[in-house]
A and B are shown apart, each in its own frame.
Chain A
Amino acid sequence: MEQSSNNTILEVKNLKKYFPITKGFLRRTAGHVKAVDNISLKIKKGETLGLVGESGCGKTTVGRCILRVYDPTDGEIRFQGQDIVKLPYNKNRALRRKIQLIFQDPYGSLDPRQSAGSIVGEAIKIHKICDNKQTHKKRVEELFTLVGLDPEMASRFPHEFSGGQRQRIGIARALSCDPVFIVCDEPFSALDVSIQAQIINLLQDLQQKLGLTYLMIAHDLSVVRHISDNVAIMYLGHIVEIADWREIYERPLMPYTQALLSAVPIPDPIVEKKRERIILEGDVPSPINPPSGCPFHPRCWKAAPDCSKEIPELREISPNHLVACIRV
C-alpha cells in the first residue's frame, strides 16, 4: 500500500481512542472502553474508503477523531501532510474546515429553529467566504442547486422537508466549507431504499464534480460495495482487513470478513437458497476487557492456540490487500 505521499490526502497512524469509565463520587477512572485501538489507514485523493463493521466496533469514533470532535488518546492523523492532532484549535480551524461531516440522522442534524438557507449559509458566514450579502445569497443558492434542492425553499424550516431533502441540506452544509474530505457517517441508513439510491448517486456526482474524498462509514455491505474504492473491515476497535472492494468481496481472507459477507443476502431466490452462511457463535466481546491477542479469536472457527498470544499486525498478503490474521 505504498503510495507517493502527495497522493495521500489523509493518513491515520496508530490511532487510539479510549473512553474512561468513571466510578463513584470522586470519579476515579475504573477502566477504559477501547473504542478504537491502534488503527492505521490511508486514503488517496478522490477515493472512497468504506469503513465497515457491526454496531459498536468503533467506526463512528474513527470518523469523529478525524473530525477532531474527539481528542484521540494517542496516534497521528495527517491531513494533507499536517498532523491535525497536535495543531492547536485556532490554528488549524482553516485546515479543519476542509474536513466535513455528513450525518446519519437527517432529523437531529438540522437545527429546527434555523431556516434551510441559514443552516447552509452559516459556515460561509463563519469563515467569511463571501464578503457581502449578495454573494452570500448567491453562494447559498448555488449550493442548493448543487445538491438538487430548489433555492426557493431556502426560507423553509427543516421540519417542512422530507428525510431525503433534509439529507441534501446536510450535504449542502458540509459542502459550504469547500471541503476536500468528507466523513460520511452512515448517511444512508436512516433513509428508505429509493431515497438511498438518490443520495448515493448525489454523493458520487459530487465526488466527480468537486474531486472529493470520502470516508464512508457504513454497515450496509451492498451500499459500500457500490460506492467504495477500498474497504476496511473493523472489529472491536481494530482494522482486520483492508483491500479494494473487488478483493474484499471476491476473496475475503480474514475469517471475520468471510462471516460478515456471508450475511449479505443475494437478490436471487435460487442462489440465495444455496448461500452458505457462516454463523458466528457467541457475542462481540466487551471493548472494556477485550480478549488477548487477536480480538476475533474467541469466535473464530480457525483459531489456533497462537491466536490468543499476540495482536496480529496488518500484513500485505497480495498487492493492496492487508489482513490482520496469522492463519492466512
Chain B
Amino acid sequence: MSEADLETWPEQGQNKRVSEFQRFLRVMFGRWLVIFGTFVIVLTVFVALFAPQLAPYNPNKVNLREMIEPPSAKHLLGTDEMGRDLLSRVIYGSRIAVSVGIVVVCIAGVIGMSLGLIAGYFGGWIGTMIMRFMDALMSLPPLVLMLAIAVMLGGGIAKVYVALGIAFMPTYCRLMCGEILSIKENDYVMAANVIGAGHIRVMFSHLVPNAFPPLFVMITLDLGFAILAEASLSFLGIGINPPTATWGAMINSGQQYLLTNPLLSIVPGVAIVLLVLAFNLVGDGLRDALDPRLRGKI
C-alpha cells in the first residue's frame, strides 16, 4: 500500500496533545469566575451537609425575649421576628436550596430528556403526542403552573419537588427533541444503522452524547433557577411549611421588618443570588470545556 504511505499526517505542531481530562480541567478552571462559582457551590454543599455541626443554634427554636435583634456576639447575624438565630436559619436553609436544585433537576431532566429522546427519535404519533403535551405545559406561565400544581398537591417538600419538576420538564423535552431531530439526520447515524446497531445503541452511544452538551449547560443553569423558583413559592407562602427554614420564606417574613432590620431579608437574598450566580458561572465554564472542537488541544 505504497500510496497510503504517501499521505502525510498533519503535524500537531505547538499544540501538544493532552489527555481529555487535563484539557477539560484547564479550560474549565482557566477563568477565576468559574473557580469562584465552583467554590461557592462546594461551600454551600458543605454547609448543607454539615448544617447541624455548623449552626450555632437550633434554627426553629423560638425565643420571644430576643426578637429582631441586630447582629451581636451572641447572634452573629441577629435574630428574626420570633427570636430565632438568623445565621442558623440561613445555614439550614441551604439544605432545602441544594436538595431542591438537585432533586428538581433530576426529575425534570430524566423524565423530560427521555420523553424528548423518544419523541425525537421515533417521531410519528407518539412524538406528536408527547410534544403537544409539552406545548400545553409550556403555554402556561411557569410560575402559575408551579402554583397550580403545588396547591393541587398540597404542602410539603416532596410536593414542591414534584411541582417544580413538572414545571421544568418541558424545556428539557423540547431541547432534547430538537437536538435529536437534527442529529439523527447525520450520516454517522445512518452508518451506525448500516453496521447493524439497534435503536438502543444508536440512541445512547450516538445521539445522546452529541445532544448532551447544551442539555448539560441547561442542567447547571436550572439548578440555580429551581432554587429561585422554590424561593418564589416559599415567598408566596405556598409549598414548604412555615417552621422549616427556607431562604424564600425568610425573605418574605423579613420584608415586614425591612426598615428596622433589613438583614432579615438581605442575608437569605444574598445567599440565593450567590448560589444561582455560581451555578450560572459553572454552567458557562462547562459549556466551553465540553466543546468538542477543543478536543485534544489546550
A residues apposed to B, CB below 8 Å: 67, 69, 93, 96-97, 99-101, 103, 105, 108-114, 122-123, 126-127, 147-150, 153, 156-157, 159-160, 162, 164-165, 168, 170, 173-174, 176-177, 195, 197-198, 201-202, 205
Q: Which one, B4, B7, B188, B295, contacts A111 given CB within 8 A?
A: B188
Q: Which residues does B use to contact A, with CB under 8 Å?
A: 1, 3-7, 9-10, 186-188, 190-197, 201, 205-206, 209-210, 292-293, 295-296
CB distance B7 to A148 under 8 Å?
yes
Min CB distance A200 to B, Å, is 9
Q: How far is the CA of A311 from the CA of B205 in the complex (A)?
A: 47
Query: Could you list 22 A-B pairs, sorted by A, with CB under 8 Å?
Result: A69-B193, A96-B196, A105-B187, A108-B186, A108-B188, A111-B210, A114-B205, A114-B206, A114-B209, A123-B195, A148-B5, A156-B296, A157-B295, A160-B296, A164-B7, A168-B4, A173-B195, A197-B3, A198-B3, A202-B1, A205-B1, A205-B3
Q: Which residue of A lies closest to B294 (CB)?
A: A159
Q: How far is the CB of B292 from chain A (nearest CB, A)?
A: 5
Which residue of A is nearest B188, CB measured? A111
Chain A residues whose C-beta falls within 8 Å of the C-beta of B10 in the assembled complex: 162
Q: Which chain B residues lie closer than 8 Å to A202 at the CB level?
A: 1, 3-4
In the complex, how many angstroms separate the beta carbon of A192 from the nearest chain B beta carbon? 12
Q: Is the CB of B1 within 8 A of A177?
A: no
Looking across the interface, which residue of chain A has its beta carbon closest to that of B193? Answer: A69
Known: A69-B190, A164-B7. A157 touches B292 (CB 8 A): yes
Chain B, residue nearest A90 (CB): B198
Provide the residues of chain B in CB contact with A160, threshold 8 Å: 295-296
A-B contact count (CB 8 A): 94
Residue of A nearest to B17 (CB): A156
Out of B1, B5, B209, B296, which one reaches A113, CB within 8 Å? B209
Q: Which residues of B contact A111 (CB under 8 A)?
A: 186, 188, 192, 206, 209-210
Q: State A150–B12 Cα separation when bound (angstroms).
A: 15
A177's nearest neighbour on chain B, judged by CB, is B195
Chain A residue with the shortest CB-CB distance to B12: A160
Chain B contact surface mostly: helix
Cα distance A198–B7 in the bound complex, in angstroms:
8
Complex formed: what's the CA distance from A110 to B190 in Å?
10
- Check B206–A100 contact: CB distance below 8 A: no
CA separation between A108 and B1, bound complex, in Å? 27
List of 5 A-B pairs having minimum Cβ-Cβ separation, nearest first: A148-B4, A109-B187, A123-B195, A108-B187, A111-B188
List of B residues within 8 angstroms of A103 by Cβ: 187, 190-191
Partner of A177, one of B5, B186, B196, B295: B196
**Nearest chain A residue, comparing its CB with the CB of B210:** A113
Q: Which residue of chain A lies nearest to B1 when distances are taken between CB atoms in the complex?
A: A148
| Among candidates B4, B196, B293, B296, residue contacting A147 with C-beta atoms closer than 8 Å | B4
Q: Are B190 and A127 in contact (CB under 8 A)?
A: no
In the assembled complex, the Cα of A197 lies from the Cα of B7 at a distance in Å of 11
Task: Given A109-B191, A148-B4, A174-B195, output 6 extra A-B contacts at Cβ < 8 Å.
Answer: A96-B196, A109-B188, A112-B292, A114-B206, A126-B195, A173-B191
CB neighbours of B201 from chain A (8 A) = 126
Residues of chain B contacted by A168 (CB below 8 angstroms): 4
Q: A103-B187, A147-B4, A157-B295 are in contact. Are A69 and B194 (CB under 8 A)?
A: yes
Residues of chain B lying within 8 A (CB to CB) of residue A157? 292, 295-296
Residues of B within 8 Å of A127, CB to CB, are 196
Q: In the complex, which residues of chain A have a beta carbon less than 8 angstroms from the beta carbon of B191?
A: 101, 103, 109, 170, 173
From residue B285, how far is it (CB to closest CB) to chain A in Å?
Answer: 20
Residues in A with CB closer than 8 Å to B9 are 150, 153, 165
CA distance in complex: A170, B191 (Å): 9
Beta-carbon nearest neighbor of B183 in chain A = A111
Closest chain B residue to A209, Cβ basis: B1
Q: Is the CB of A67 within 8 A of B194?
A: yes
Chain A residues lying within 8 Å of B205, measured Cβ to Cβ, are: 114, 122
Contacts of A170 in B (CB 8 A): 191
Pair B3/A148 contact, Cβ less than 8 Å: yes
